[in-house]
Every structure is written in structure tokens, then in C-alpha cells.
Amino acid sequence: MLCTYGIGWSFLVATGNARSDPSASHGLRPRDALRAQIQAGMDSGPGSPLSEVRARLRSRYQNWDKGQEEEVAYRVEALPPIIAPMTRPPVTFSMKTFGLNELGRDLVVGDIHGAFGALQRELDRIAFDGAVDRLFCVGDLIDRGPLSDQVLWWLDKPWFHTILGNHEWMAFLHVYGSSFERRFHENAGGKWLGELPRDEQEAVVQRLVALPLVIEVQTASDRAVGLIHAGCYFDSWDLIRQMDFSQLSGDGENDFVRCCLWSTERYKRQYRRVVDKVRAVFHGHLTVRQHVVLGNSFFIDTGGWMPDSGGFFTLLDLATLMPALAPGEAPPAGLSVVPLPSASPLPVPMSQHSRVARLLDSGKK
């Protein structure tokens, strides 16, 4: 269990104090029905005010011209501000499993960070077919890129599946946490969230925080692959399968949760011990020039959200663990299926590193 979480992340936990929307102004009548929903814990069932907000957000982009994000602006009428105490909704972390895709390809992509236009162009290039193909993401859908507010539109696509990243968690704390947490998220690329009407902010972050912490996907090799945003806490995937995720603290102050969202320990220490009982584990969080394989851990955030700095999206085929190719495209010379080690090359298990590692490492994306 080799994981570090940076500079004392525990002090970022929300205070839980009730507060009113600072943008609310006098003379505007609050919508009592929606306020009641918020006070009752933000019911998001069919027909609820929150589901109506989500529908409005989705419709905003129904005429989106993909690839032209810098030229397209959308404006919708803002709802009146809501004057109501902000009670943090309960959070339940989870793991989600997917069976074998017998119809098409399963691909995995690194951090998106709001660069949905660039991602769509790459999907078009490799002839991605949403009718049969599936796309998995290692989290961090939002912030920094130009189209973060399209995130619900993408999450509604039946072929798109993702896990919770640290930026999704920061967005949740932005809305329901302290002023410090709000500024922390804004400085990490989250200013777009504060520019939305308050009810839209809540609709977005409630959907984001409900994403699974871990995903497992069955592949044709009869062995599953896993997705965890930052760090894998165990050296055996079976220990994750056996976990009762409902028992994890909803405030995020749990070693396993913090490792999943924040740890860069495997990469920083070039830790090559294999996570057994799983074919491969895919991570984002830490940006690399080319995707990196350590043991059977793949680090695939190659900066597709910052093309001006030479970044690009890495899309790997889960069947081959190699880059997805366009029809008729030949693989680069010497490219073959990645040979994964069958045994752990290091004698020291991760759990014996963890106590020291937490003291030594202070980096965080």
C-alpha cells in the first residue's frame, strides 16, 4: 500500500457550515420548490427540479458543432438565485464492473480536462463507433480546457464511462465546501464552475461525485483490466474486489480514497511490482510525455488538454493494450502487444513502503 497524498489534504475537508448563496440578491423571490429539494438533500429523481436543470444543461449543446469550440458561444437564461442553506449531500463511493464487449472495441483515454472538442476529433480519426464501441476514461473530465461545462452532455452518452478524479472531487468541495476549497479549485482550473448559476453547479457536481471510484472491465483475454485515477492502494486487485465500498467515509478522508484520487507514488518511485489478479491497471492524474508502463500499471495522461505544449490524447485498445488505430492504419514499426510480467520483480510489497512514503512525498497535481 504505497500511497502519498501531498501536503496534508485532510485540512481541505469541508466545514459543513450552512450558508447562503453569496450571489443571491435581495428582491429576487427564491423558488421554494427547488429550495426544499436542496434542504432535503438534493433529490435528483425523475421530475425533480434538479433533473430539470440537468435536462436544460444537456439541451444547451444539442446543436454543438464539434471541433469549433472556440467559435461557438451559448447563452441560456439564468434561473433566479436560490436562498437556502447549503447542506452537503451524502457521498457513497463505489466500484463498477463491465462485461466483455463482444460487438466492438473498448478503448481507454487519459485525463480530458474539458478538451472535449479535441477528444472528439481524435475519436473521429480512429473511426470510433458509439453503436458498438465503448470509451473509458481515467477521470479528470473537467477544468483547464475550454468545454468543461459540457461534462453532463458527455456523461449522458451510453458508450462513455469514467471514474472519479481529483478534479471532480474538488468541484464537489467547491460547491459544498469552504471558501478556501472554492478558491483552491478555481486556481486548479475550476473558475468555469463558479460562473454557472448555483442550481447548475449543484446539478453538475452531484452527477460527478456519483461516479465510481474504481472501474473493472472484462477483456477477451479472460482477464479484467482496472481503472483508478491516481494510485492503486494494493498489490492485489482481489483486495479491491473484496472491499465494501459503502463503508468508506463519504468525506474522502480515507487512505484508500485519497490514494485513488491523489497518489503519484508508483510513478515517482518507479515502482514496478505487478498488481496481481488483474491484467492491467490504468491511471491518469500525472501528465507524462508518452504513456508509461511500470509492471502492469499504465500511466496514460499525455496532456491532450494542452496541445499548445505538445500534449495529445492517448487512446489504448483494451484488447491489445496498444494505441487504437484508424482503419487501414499500420502500427508503428516494432509495435506489438505489450508483454506484461507474470511475476512481481520487486521483493518488497507496497504496504511496507507506505508509512515512509507519506512523510517523504508532498507533490500533488
The CA distance from 94 to 353, in Å, is 26
Q: Is the pLDDT of residue 124 over 50?
A: yes
Q: pLDDT by residue (tens digit) across 281-307?
A: 999 999 999 999 999 999 999 999 999
pLDDT of residue 43: 45
Q: pLDDT by residue (tens digit) across 25-56?
A: 333 333 344 444 444 444 445 555 556 666 66
Least confident of 53-57, 213-217, 222-226, 333-337: 333-337
Confidence tier at 337 by pLDDT (50, 70, 90) = very low
| DSSP summary character for residue 277 | T
Is the full-model pTM beyond 0.75? no
Say if domain 9-360 classifies as CATH 3.60.21.10: yes
Portion of the chain with pLDDT greater than 90, in percent: 59
Give the residue extent of every domain in the chain: 9-360
Averaged pLDDT score across all residues of the chain: 77
Residue 312 pairs in a beta bridge with 303
The CA distance from 135 to 316, in Å, is 10
pLDDT of residue 81: 37
- Across residues 16-25, what is the average pLDDT? 36
Q: Is the pLDDT of residue 144 over 70?
A: yes
The CA distance from 108 to 301, in Å, is 11
Q: Is the pLDDT of residue 71 over 50?
A: no
* Residue 172 identity (one-letter amino acid): F
The CA distance from 208 to 250, in Å, is 14
| Sign of the four-CA dihedral 239, 240, 245, 248 | positive
